[in-house]
Amino acid sequence: MEAYLARRAHHRALRNLSELDDYLLKDIGVARCEIDSLAYGSSERKRGHEHDMG
């Protein structure tokens, strides 16, 4: 039952984040390509522009 509830919570988070427009995502510091990893709790956020900073 616990696994089922966790999957439901992940799906809800994914749906909620996906419904936000790009401007709101930018305001909270999330790129659209990060939504999956955030919804599923990945601790590693891969952001392309971070590697370009000297």
Alpha helices in 1-54 (DSSP H): 2-19, 22-27, 35-39
Tens-place pLDDT, residues 7-50: 999 899 899 999 999 999 999 999 999 998 887 776 555 555 44
Give the contacts of 5 (CB within 8 A, at least 6 positions apart).
Answer: none
The angle subtended at Cα 34 by Cα 37 and Cα 2, nearest 5°, is 25
Single-letter amino acid, residue 35: I
Q: What is the pTM of this model?
A: 0.62
Q: How far apart are the first and last CA of the chain?
A: 47
Which among 41, 43, 35 is positioned nearest to 18, based on CA atoms? 35
